């Protein structure tokens, strides 16, 4: 499903940054997709880990935004998505969003290559400004790590 604001966007904005949004809450996906599309991004959306990994295997993204927990089991699936994104594109800007923020998850995310860690709720304008500032300031990018254990003891 593609938003109306994104129709013919690829032809009209070939240098527009590519963004993958990984979020299980449909209303959040809709709002983010429309907002970022309107602001010049070429947006793809995934509702879960396997769909996100498939997108990452097919395309390179400039920015990835993912929720930490993508299932009711709260197994930190977003961490695995971020690890794949980092391994596929070491220069991508990786953003983690979570309603279950903790110092531990923030430290783990940042130590494994996440550039921005935000707790929900976060306003879209603030999030976009933070992303743009980080994209314009390459020193904000963390040193990429492509391996490491993410999350706890959830089933595969």
What's the confidence (pLDDT) of residue 27?
Answer: 93
69 touches 25 (CB < 8 A):
no
> What are the φ and ψ backbone dihedral angles of 121, each rounded to 5 degrees?
-80, 145
For tokens 């499903």, the residue is 1
β partners of residue 44: 20
Alpha-carbon dihedral of residues 37, 86, 143, 79, nearest 10 degrees? 90
**pLDDT tens digits along 59-108:** 999 999 999 999 888 888 998 999 999 999 999 999 999 888 778 888 88
Q: Which domains does the chain have, with CATH numbers?
A: 4-136 (3.40.50.2300)
Rounded Cα distance between 103 and 134, Å, is 21
The whole-number average pLDDT for the span 28-34 is 95
> What are the φ and ψ backbone dihedral angles of 92, each rounded to 5 degrees?
-70, 150
Lowest mean pLDDT among 43-47, 87-91, 138-142: 138-142
The whole-number average pLDDT for the span 107-119 is 86
Lowest mean pLDDT among 33-42, 45-54, 72-81, 121-130: 72-81
β partners of residue 134: none
What's the confidence (pLDDT) of residue 101?
Answer: 77
What's the confidence (pLDDT) of residue 149?
Answer: 39
Tokens at 21, concatenated: 């949004």
Per DSSP, 99 falls in state S
């Amino acid at each position: 499903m593609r938003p109306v604001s994104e129709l013919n966007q690829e032809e009209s904005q070939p240098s527009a940054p590519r963004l993958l949004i990984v979020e299980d809450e449909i209303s959040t996906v809709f709002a983010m997709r429309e907002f970022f599309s309107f602001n010049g991004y070429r947006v793809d959306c995934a509702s879960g880990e396997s769909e996100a990994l498939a997108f990452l295997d097919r395309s390179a993204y400039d920015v990835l935004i993912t929720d930490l927990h993508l299932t009711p089991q709260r197994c930190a699936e977003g961490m695995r998505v971020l690890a794949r994104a980092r391994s596929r594109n070491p220069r991508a800007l990786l953003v983690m969003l979570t309603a279950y923020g903790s110092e531990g998850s923030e430290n783990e995310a940042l130590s494994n290559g996440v550039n921005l860690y935000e707790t929900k709720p976060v306003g879209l304008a603030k999030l976009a400004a933070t992303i743009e500032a980080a994209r314009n300031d390459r020193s904000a990018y963390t040193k990429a790590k492509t391996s490491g254990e993410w999350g706890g003891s959830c089933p595969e």
